[in-house]
Structure 1
Amino acid sequence: MGWIYIVLAAMSEIIGVVGLRFYSQNKTVRNLLIYIGGFGLSFALLYASFNYLQLSIAYVVWVGIGTVGAVLVNIIFFGESKNLTRIISIIAIIIGVAGLKAVS
């Protein structure tokens, strides 16, 4: 159950990042709600995952998925650069998170 919370929390974080991007470009109530709602739900789900998982592992996986997801969303949907260094960095994050999970 804890891993489900982490995945949902990371997806909510990505929604919050998209809301932040929209809100920074167009300050509407809708964009503000997406921004605050995404991050708020993300923190609540992360907190719920602590009942099932170690804090250190849950937090690292949440940050890793959220970071990679936010970068990929911005590359795919918002035209941010997709240079080799960014791709290698994304792969390094994935390997690091998987490695931490594997040894815990």
Structure 2
Amino acid sequence: MGWFYVVLAAVNELIGVWGLNKFNERKNVTNALVYVGGLALSFMFIYASFDYLPTSIAYATWTGVGTGGVVLMNMLFFGESKSLFRMVSLLAIIIGVTGLKIV
């Protein structure tokens, strides 16, 4: 159940950041609600995961998945650079989060 909450937290973080990007482009109530709602739900789910998982593992996974997901989302949908260094850095995040889970 804890990992399910971490996944929900990460997905909602991506929704919140997507809303933030849209709100930055066009300030309206819908974009603000997506931004604030996504991040609020993200915090709610990560907090719920702490009942099942060690805080250090859940939080590190959530931030790693969120960071990696936001980088990918911005490269795919918002035209950010797809340079080799960015890809290698993203791989380092994935390896680090995976390593924390394995250990």
TM-score when normalising by structure 1? 0.98
Identity of matched residues, %:
59
Residue deviations 1:70-98, cap 9 Å, x none? 01011011111100010000000000000
Are 1:70 and 2:70 an aligned pair?
yes
Q: 4+ runs of 1 displaced by more than 4 Å? A: none
5 Å-filtered alignment, 1:1-104, equals: 1-103=1-103
Which whole-Å CA distance do the structure 1 matches of 2:15 and 2:68 have between them? 13
Secondary structure of the residue aligned to 1:79 is: coil
Quote the RMSD (CA, aligned, Å): 0.4
Secondary structure of the residue aligned to 1:81 is: coil
- Aligned pair count reads 103
Structure 1, gaps ≥5 residues long: none
Which whole-Å CA distance do the structure 2 matches of 1:27 and 1:77 have between them? 19
* 1:25, distance to aligned residue in structure 2 (A): 1.1
